[in-house]
Structure 1
């Protein structure tokens, strides 16, 4: 019984510690290129509606590709 209790405490602790040690390699950023293409296409069509971005499109970018300000 004692070993079972220790095992039940050890497994979640191991999962939490290994999960926190991993850093994501990607960053989610708005996809401004795609947004520009969509908005540009609405300018040239006669029956196109005005675009309102409720949930703008996003893309994954490598952390190394981001330029510091």
Structure 2
């Protein structure tokens, strides 16, 4: 299996606050991790601090499996 996390930071990398915003996104995601089985097909949208969708995470089957 593979864990895939993709976040679009926009043209300005979250207005110069990329480290803080990405840290918040990862803390929020990590806090909700227990709600998922973490099997292929699981995933969810990722939101920034303004509640705008900025990406997605997913669990996918590894190539060749």
- TM-score (norm: length of structure 1): 0.27
- TM-score (norm: length of structure 2): 0.28
Select the structure of larger CA radius of gyration.
1
Q: Pick 1 or 2: higher relative contact order, CA cutoff 8 A, min separation 6.
A: 2
Higher strand share: 2
